[in-house]
Structure 1
Amino acid sequence: MRSLRRKTLAVQCALWLALPGLAAAQEAPPSDDPTTLDAVEVTGTRIRKAEIESQTPVQTLTREDIERTGLTSIGDIVQELTGSGSALNTKFNSSGNFGFSPNGDGVGAGSAQVDLRHLGPKRVLVLVDGMRWVNESSASGVGAATDLNTIPLALVERIEVLEDGASSLYGSDAIAGVVNIITRRNYEGGQITLNYGQYDKGDGELSGVDLAWGTNTDKMNLFLGASHVDQEPVYSRDRAQAREPIPGTGLTFGSSATPNGRFVFFPNAPSSACPLTDVDDDPATPAVPFCDITTPNGSSFPNGVGYPNDFIGFDTPNRFNFAEYNMVLTPSKRSGVFGQIRYYFTDDVHWYAKALYNRRESTNQAAPEPLFFGPDAGTGNPYADDITISALNPYNPFGIDLVSSGPGANLVLIGRRPVEGGPRVFEQEVDTQYFATGLDGSFELGERSWFWDVNAAWSKNEAEQTNYGSYNIFNVAMALGDPAVCAATPGCVPLNIFGGPGTITPEMLAWIQPVVRDRSEQKLSQFTANISGDLFEMWAGPLSMAAGYEYRKYEGSYTPDPLNYVTMPDGTVENHYNGVPSLPTSGEYDVNEVYLELNVPLFRDSPFGKSLDLSLAGRYSDYSSFGGQFTPKYGLRWQVADELLLRATYAEGFRAPSIGELYGSASRADLQLDDPCLIGVDGSAPTGNAANCAALGVPPGAAQSNSQISVTTGGNPELDPETARSFTAGLVFSPSFASGVSWSDRLDLELTFYRHSIEGAVQAIDAQTQLDLCVATLDPRYCDGITRSSVGSINGFNNRLTNLGSIKTDGWDADVFWTLPETSFGQFKLSWQNTFVTRYEAIGAAGQVQPRRVGVEVTDSAIPDWTSNATLDWRYNHWSASWTVRHISELEEECGDAVAFPVCSDPSEGTNKLDATTYHDVQLGYRFDLLKGLQLTGGVNNLFDEDPPICLSCSLNGYDASTYDIPGGRFFYLRADLRF
């Protein structure tokens, strides 16, 4: 926080009486009473005193800072902070590719989240004007994080980021910090803002309009606004780095489900396409006829004609490149209207009301959905894994039943990509509603001023996701089975999966391809009452306090399409959805809380310095879901001299498990995993212990046909809250030798050390780590829930949530803010903010080390050891300009099966280096004296077209979308801002 520089801001803020939930004023509210100058509400304390605003490290993004980014999403803006970690944004093409989150709370497709200190978005509390914002809904589960795309950027006055644990002040979720979004309130006149931008490749067009109008009278403030943002997509096929499953490896890691089909089975007799083969590499066992074949050209294959002559052996060139169908930037439309009114009954009693409605429409797209059949499919659905494809199917060219299990089993795997059905398209519509009202005021008790407020708020997120391009696996199985059964079923027509692209007809698609609709909803109802003032005078000043009561009720539900849970005639419930399956989820809980905060002055104007204050805070929370929890916080603020401030805090915190984490039912995540017991997709030898692999049922010579393994995730009602401890210590130094001199008008230096420790973290063990430990140890703690088919491949993987061991991280923030004297060339300001992460370690409940650590890229997220943002700002008369440099230090990742390719930078160690990356953003503006002002601004983000480093372990597009800009990404933008 620029604490010493913000005294002016503190005085301005003091001109209005804020409640937790009302925000920054551009002008003073009508009042004849100057005593309200002491009523300052700042993030990080509930006590309303300007003197203690710098007690905790708070970073403030002003409206000017926000506009300098050229971005139109709050999520995109806060994700560029140096203390931010990996979080979802619109660069993640989530639905249909990721399945469900291993956290059991769904994937927030199309959302934008915030992560602080790399502790995860669910451990960051998001407030709007001091009140909690409802958690996200994206129709894919019951999320535990906040979707910042539900809050229009146009209503924001500033954003305050508390980079410290704050459970004692704000309750659950504030483990890693707090993001408090302060809205515009007191505003006079109107404003129209037009935004336009696009990438230099001619795609990713962005357009938007913001409208704002406000008026003030002696008794009232009124503000109204509307916003619309339309972001067009960028397709992977238009970016060289994203056109392959893994850059630099061609089709090696493409899918074995191809438009021409892949057929792996044991025929009755050998042929030119299916010769005698030693399938287990054991010379003691005889060779058998074996098929691993495809057809390069396709055919209708009526009654077996075409086999074996039209078939060839399946190999890498026959794999399918699914990457070209993906997006590197997903489309998003966001439209919102909002308003708030404040009425002054007297100078001491005020009433307010505020309302918001926002709609987000977003889309994700994936390659045409694959169909996998046989024991090696590993879908977990018996209609796919245990299928029998009839020899009587008119399109079956092999003349035999293809049987997955039981007597006569001969099928290993069939993979077919029905491109005739088009890509998978997931369209989300998310509606956010918010209403709040309350009273606040002040009164005099003796000679002391007291401030109070009571507030009530209700908010709801509801979402619907419509999926085009998926399949009904029950209908697929029927269409491949006995033609007589199909003929007796209305609508059923036999299905041709053997004939290559173009042979699945519209009539076939009509039987197997439904439109799938999922829904979710989250509600938050809350009531708060607060009071703050000075209790009595002590030897070094008044003892100040704040106290309050808070009630919250959370309600959440997720309703997948009924195709996921079909009730059969015999009363059993089956899953008929070929995509990522899930079951309904619903739950609710409430919490009652009380808190007390004290500021104790220890000395003033003593030989030890100007002042020393001790802050004490505690909150007791009573949850209907698990019981009570007490969290304390302690802090010291030592003003050594006018130019030097020292501060330190210690806090205990907790996070209550969310509805999705508690009650989320079984769902599936399709993860990229390397099976140590199988020959790699690239042909590399197994890395696991051979004896252990044999004990797990893996036959010699078994190969991994598909690196995407279905992992079952889900909630756990036995979860306990996470507990946390955090510590910060730092200084703010504004040297007098750099104030008001020829080379410097003002210089502020800030240094903060932070440490966070979480025990009982709610998460699933990393799936790759669990698999590796199972193979290495055969320990039931890791192997229970992992099952294998008769051919050795994984066909079941249970990876549920639990309270894992611990997460520990620490590091430093080092910031410089320098204002140069104004000259005939204008005035320059430099801000340079840095975060150094010195430790991050996650330990499982059984002592297993999780793979995330400093300087490592894993699971589409990174923890750089150094991130840095530097901005040089220039003002001269009506001109303005800025140059921003964003730096991310180098990272390292495991190459996995890509170790044999040149793109793996250090194959001897099996690691790949992601080079340090630096982006340059520039902006130029001019203000015309038209009406109240017309500001024209143009800029370029990623001026030098820096591509992100290639990531071999990332799920999509060959880069980490949570850390870097998109590849091929110069972004040009223009903004016109007219005030009247």
Structure 2
Amino acid sequence: MKTIRNSRLAQAVRGALLFAMLPAVAVAQDEAAEEIKTLDRVEVTGTRLKTSEAEGLVPVQRITRADIERTGLTSVADIIQSLTGSGSALNTKFNSSGNFGFPPDGSGVGAGSAQADLRHLGSKRVLVLVDGIRWVNEASASGVGAATDLNTIPLAIIDRIEVLEDGASSLYGSDAIAGVINIITRKDFEGISVNAQVGQYGEGDGTTKSIDFAWGGGTERVNVFLGLSYTDQDVIYSRDREQAAFPVPGTGVAFGSSGTPTGRFIFIDPNTLAEYDVTPNDGASNPVFDPSQTGCSRTDDYHCFGTADRFNFAQYNLLLTPSERVGAFGQVRFQFSEAVSGYAKVLYNRRKSTNQAAPEPLFFGPEAGTGNPLADNIFISALNPYNPFGFDLDSATNLILIGRRPVEGGARVFEQEVDTWYVGAGLEGAFNAGERTLYWDVNLAVSENKAEQANYGSYNIRKIALALGDPAACAAVAGCVPLNIFGGPGTITPEMLAWIQPVVRDRSQNELALFTANLSGSLFDLPAGSVDFATGFEHRRLEGWYQPDALTIAGDYNGVPSLPTSGKYDVSELFVELNFPLYEDSAIGQRLDLTVAGRYSDYSTGISEVTPKVGLRFQLAEELVLRASYAEGFRAPSIGELFGSASRFDAQLNDPCSTPLLDPSLAGNCATLGVPANYQQPNPQISITTGGNDQLDPETSKSFATGFIWSPSFLENSTAAERVDFEVTYYRHEIEGAIQAIDAQTQLDLCVQTLDALYCDGITRAPTGGINGFNNRLTNLGTIKTDGWDIDLVWVFPASDIGQFKAAWRNTLVGDYEAVGAAGQVQPQGPGIEVVDSAIPEWTSNFSLDWSRGGWSAGWTMRYISELREECGNAVSFPVCSNPATGINVLEATTYHDLQVGYRFEEFHDLGLTFGVNNVFDKDPPICLSCSLNGYDASTYDIPGGRFFYVRADIRF
């Protein structure tokens, strides 16, 4: 594995700092971030304290409803993923069924869901709250998820989103290592609002329609809010975009599949011991094979298999997966007295989504590497009426590999239906204890996420084996008909398909029930002010299960096999947070506050953890606040990670022992591993067996953040600015015992390089040399370390005759990222590197300029992603690899431009009309050679590329 060095960070940091100091630019900071000294007693994400000094304790980014509407996006996840501090996360641009299989954490593929990642630490290390209450994890219908599907939360119900990019386990418990996303719902809403939007890509596809309805009202004591939401996103096929029309852009079908509609047959003739690697000629529906012809110049109906024969599976993939979401949310709040209020809320959300993959290939023989003994040890009888070779094809003796893709059965289509329920209720209030006021609340919530997936286009491998064997044995079973895999497309008849092609149905569910009780207020006074506190108790019960189709459990499924998963646990927690004002109005500053917090967690699985946090907030002057925090955190293993049963995913791996050897010095090691000389890997798709581990320890973390907020008074209400805010944060995260499996390609490379059992155990090879077993299980891998900077600036210009302007600029610069295995093996991820369908850009930046005058408004946004580098791999010999000499491909820096213009007719029920274009200059995402589908990194760039036009109308009564 080549090392790709971080060589541009220093320039990026210097550029960001210099640009931030220019008086003509600004940053994104929303209307909620008013002057910190003027806050009333409110609760802020990142602290449980309800004090006016709470703002500014930790870095929190707020996204208001107006900010959401300016994006033109219809998914919470898409909005979060556009933030500069976000990492690679699943979304509806991932066509994530098919060969994605089952990730080793037992979470399933999450097909159709959309998640959030902060600081590139993974979605399962981000805690999602709704109104401060933990939200249920997703059920993916292929496992028990450890992350939240943000598509379960309709946009119509959201007032604002608060994103804490700091470790917060001491305040919120497990899963908050990377940060917290707190979605605040709409409450004090009066009247009726209807919001409708329709958008489409310039190519005329990918139409997205949404309509939201909101109603609110009440009396002095009762307030009711109802929100309804509908979103429909149409499909975009890979074949409709030139870049995505082949497995690897710029390489034609060179990296296509050897599972073809005509079939690929590698075998040894038992009569002559000649080895063949042949495929029928096009149009030869009943091919004739002449065993006397041993070369590639043949006059029968076969020719030697070559690159041009490979199958272009990309034509069937999706760039944008269709998704339909319907949501309903109701909330009622009661004011029982001046001191006590209560609430009740309920949410229901249904998602219907679809993923699609190419027609499922059938691979047989020892080089198939499917992990299914029915396929790897297939026996095809010479008596099969369609067998043209005249002898048995036996995996134990003469069969090496058969690849046949039955296009007659159609594409693999995966349809998901996901239902989410949430019911919550609580009481909150205040009371006087002497001269002090204490605030309390109790909350009860029950939620469920249940998914069902129907898979059309897969096959029953046991029935296939029977149909390829002795015709007499097939005839003895009702419905069985001999199968023809030897002819071209169209030779597998409807009767054959009826015997071998089932509908596979999988189900899964995640449940969460919790009770919380909190108390906050002030304890006593110090010379500089009161000592404030917050304390509370939380009890959670989590339960999840995954039930694959009975066909899959029996081992008869030709696709990705898996076994059921089921597990549950509960946890009880206590937390306390204290704020000590150390001094006020001294010669060295206006105020210095020390905050300490701690949380004790006790799990029924035997885990007990104490997580502390300490922070300093130093208001040096009216306009300048310095802050620093240190936190320890942890993440308990999820249900899937603990209890996930053996399953499989298919990875594209380059065997280092395949000729020509990339490293000739490894020839001896390959021979030791049993690989014959001149072995060539026939199929790069290797099946990886995964599974949970009930001996896992929790992950532990250390987080540090420091920085400042500066609002220069000499610019406030001046001719140059109405307000200017400059914010800088340095962050550092370190995770020990990270739960994950070693990167499969890294494990394979290290096995061949070192022959160490640590890497080679679990990797087995057939006598022909090919990998036929690959065990890649979960472990507490080692460490993940990352650090970097957030640099933000906001500039609100004075109102004038031409209107008011507000400029905004946000930056995240990643200084270091390193993932190291328990034995010291360095994983391939790093700043400026693209690998495994994800990237860590060294510099991401969002700049926006908003204008308003009367009823008119307009906005311009620029989104920048710095240059990335990836290994060209086997594509190194193609022109699409930008630097063949080094084997490195460069994904050039990319900037997207978005435009929005609107007008509001106040005299007509405040009707607002908005027109917008995202990606104004029609920028295509850079080609990714290492990405597994479509040549794009769907979690980093705008996919599928091209302009997206939308219009929106909203009216209020």
Q: What TM-score, normalized to structure 2? A: 0.95
- Structure 2 counterpart of 1:665, which letter? S
2:559 corresponds to 1:579:
yes
Write the distance in 2 (CA, Å) between the matches of 1:4 and 1:359: 31
Equivalent residue for 2:417, pick from 388, 407, 429: 429
Equivalent residue for 1:952, pick from 916, 926, 929: 929
- Indicate the residue corresponding to 1:542 in structure 2: 530
- Indicate the residue corresponding to 1:627 in structure 2: 607
Equivalent residue for 2:484, pick from 496, 514, 518: 496
Note the 1:497-896 alignment, pairs <5 A: 497-566=485-554, 575-679=555-659, 689-896=666-873
- Indicate the residue corresponding to 1:398 in structure 2: 389
- Indicate the residue corresponding to 1:451 in structure 2: 439
What do the CA deviations read for 1:281-336 (whole angstroms, capped 9, x no partner)? xxxxxxx5121111122444389799971111110111000001000110000000
- Indicate the residue corresponding to 2:6 in structure 1: none
User: Residues 112 and 149 of structure 1 are in contact (CA less than 8 Å); yes or no, is this contact kept in structure 2?
Assistant: yes
Cα separation, partners in 2 of 1:789 and 1:930, compared to 1, 3 Å: farther
Equivalent residue for 1:907, pick from 859, 868, 884: 884
- Indicate the residue corresponding to 1:463 in structure 2: 451
- Indicate the residue corresponding to 1:266 in structure 2: 268
- Indicate the residue corresponding to 1:486 in structure 2: 474
- Indicate the residue corresponding to 2:308 in structure 1: 317
- Structure 2 counterpart of 1:433, which letter? W
Write the distance in 2 (CA, Å) between the matches of 1:96 and 1:700: 33
How far the C-alpha of 1:751 sits from its partner, in A, is 0.3
- Indicate the residue corresponding to 2:110 in structure 1: 108
Write the distance in 2 (CA, Å) between the matches of 1:608 and 1:812: 27
Write the distance in 1 (CA, Å) between the matches of 2:31 and 2:153: 29
- Indicate the residue corresponding to 1:572 in structure 2: none
- Indicate the residue corresponding to 2:24 in structure 1: none
What do the CA deviations read for 1:359-383 (whole angstroms, capped 9, x no partner)? 0011000000000000000001111
- Indicate the residue corresponding to 1:276 in structure 2: none
How far the C-alpha of 1:770 sits from its partner, in A, is 0.4
- Structure 2 counterpart of 1:336, which letter? G
- Structure 1 counterpart of 2:380, which letter? I
What do the CA deviations read for 1:797-845 (whole angstroms, capped 9, x no partner)? 0000000110000000000100011111100001100000000001100
Sequence identity of aligned pairs in percent?
66
Write the distance in 2 (CA, Å) between the matches of 1:954 and 1:689: 27
User: Residues 626 and 720 of structure 1 are in contact (CA less than 8 Å); yes or no, is this contact kept in structure 2?
Assistant: no
Cα separation, partners in 2 of 1:187 and 1:9, compared to 1, 3 Å: farther
User: Residues 302 and 394 of structure 1 are in contact (CA less than 8 Å); yes or no, is this contact kept in structure 2?
Assistant: no
SS at match of 1:127: strand
How far the C-alpha of 1:973 sits from its partner, in A, is 0.5
SS at match of 1:50: coil
What do the CA deviations read for 1:437-492 (whole angstroms, capped 9, x no partner)? 01000011111111000000000000000000000000001000000000000000
- Structure 2 counterpart of 1:447, which letter? E
Write the distance in 2 (CA, Å) between the matches of 1:686 and 1:844: 24
Cα separation, partners in 2 of 1:234 and 1:918, compared to 1, 3 Å: same
2:275 corresponds to 1:290:
yes
- Indicate the residue corresponding to 1:22 in structure 2: none
- 306-315 or 512-521: which moved more? 306-315
User: Residues 568 and 639 of structure 2 are in contact (CA less than 8 Å); yes or no, is this contact kept in structure 1?
Assistant: yes
The count of residues paired between Structure 1 and Structure 2 equals 925
Write the distance in 2 (CA, Å) between the matches of 1:929 and 1:404: 77
Write the distance in 2 (CA, Å) between the matches of 1:324 and 1:146: 31
SS at match of 1:117: coil
SS at match of 1:102: coil
Write the distance in 2 (CA, Å) between the matches of 1:551 and 1:601: 31
Q: Give RMSD over aligned pairs.
A: 1.6
User: Residues 3 and 53 of structure 1 are in contact (CA less than 8 Å); yes or no, is this contact kept in structure 2?
Assistant: no
How far the C-alpha of 1:929 sits from its partner, in A, is 2.2
- Indicate the residue corresponding to 1:419 in structure 2: 407
User: Residues 28 and 810 of structure 2 are in contact (CA less than 8 Å); yes or no, is this contact kept in structure 1?
Assistant: no
Equivalent residue for 1:158, pick from 142, 157, 160: 160
User: Residues 920 and 947 of structure 2 are in contact (CA less than 8 Å); yes or no, is this contact kept in structure 1?
Assistant: yes
Write the distance in 2 (CA, Å) between the matches of 1:694 and 1:114: 45
Write the distance in 1 (CA, Å) between the matches of 2:178 and 2:895: 26
SS at match of 2:156: helix
How far the C-alpha of 1:269 sits from its partner, in A, is 5.1
2:321 corresponds to 1:330:
yes
How far the C-alpha of 1:930 sits from its partner, in A, is 4.1
How far the C-alpha of 1:50 sits from its partner, in A, is 2.0
Write the distance in 2 (CA, Å) between the matches of 1:755 and 1:250: 43
How far the C-alpha of 1:626 sits from its partner, in A, is 2.8
How far the C-alpha of 1:684 sits from its partner, in A, is 6.7
- Indicate the residue corresponding to 1:357 in structure 2: 348
Note the 1:969-980 alignment, pairs <5 A: 969-980=946-957
- Indicate the residue corresponding to 2:44 in structure 1: 42
User: Residues 93 and 320 of structure 2 are in contact (CA less than 8 Å); yes or no, is this contact kept in structure 1?
Assistant: yes
List alignment gaps of at least 5 residues for structure 1: 15-36, 271-287, 567-574
How far the C-alpha of 1:11 sits from its partner, in A, is 10
How far the C-alpha of 1:51 sits from its partner, in A, is 1.9
2:200 corresponds to 1:198:
yes
Write the distance in 2 (CA, Å) between the matches of 1:609 and 1:128: 37
SS at match of 1:241: helix
Write the distance in 2 (CA, Å) between the matches of 1:111 and 1:891: 26
- Structure 2 counterpart of 1:844, which letter? G
How far the C-alpha of 1:4 sits from its partner, in A, is 11
List alignment gaps of at least 5 residues for structure 2: 1-26, 294-298
What do the CA deviations read for 1:833-882 (whole angstroms, capped 9, x no partner)? 00000000011000010110111000000000000000100001100000
Write the distance in 2 (CA, Å) between the matches of 1:550 and 1:80: 32
Write the distance in 1 (CA, Å) between the matches of 2:698 and 2:718: 54
User: Residues 946 and 967 of structure 1 are in contact (CA less than 8 Å); yes or no, is this contact kept in structure 2?
Assistant: no
How far the C-alpha of 1:685 sits from its partner, in A, is 5.5
SS at match of 2:466: helix
Write the distance in 1 (CA, Å) between the matches of 2:212 and 2:566: 37
Write the distance in 2 (CA, Å) between the matches of 1:622 and 1:687: 54
- Indicate the residue corresponding to 2:147 in structure 1: 145
How far the C-alpha of 1:103 sits from its partner, in A, is 2.8
Write the distance in 1 (CA, Å) between the matches of 2:606 and 2:321: 39
SS at match of 2:432: strand
What do the CA deviations read for 1:960-980 (whole angstroms, capped 9, x no partner)? 000001143210001100101
Equivalent residue for 1:301, pick from 273, 286, 289: 286
Write the distance in 2 (CA, Å) between the matches of 1:684 and 1:967: 36
User: Residues 478 and 485 of structure 1 are in contact (CA less than 8 Å); yes or no, is this contact kept in structure 2?
Assistant: yes
Cα separation, partners in 2 of 1:641 and 1:939, compared to 1, 3 Å: same
- Indicate the residue corresponding to 1:131 in structure 2: 133
Cα separation, partners in 2 of 1:4 and 1:955, compared to 1, 3 Å: closer
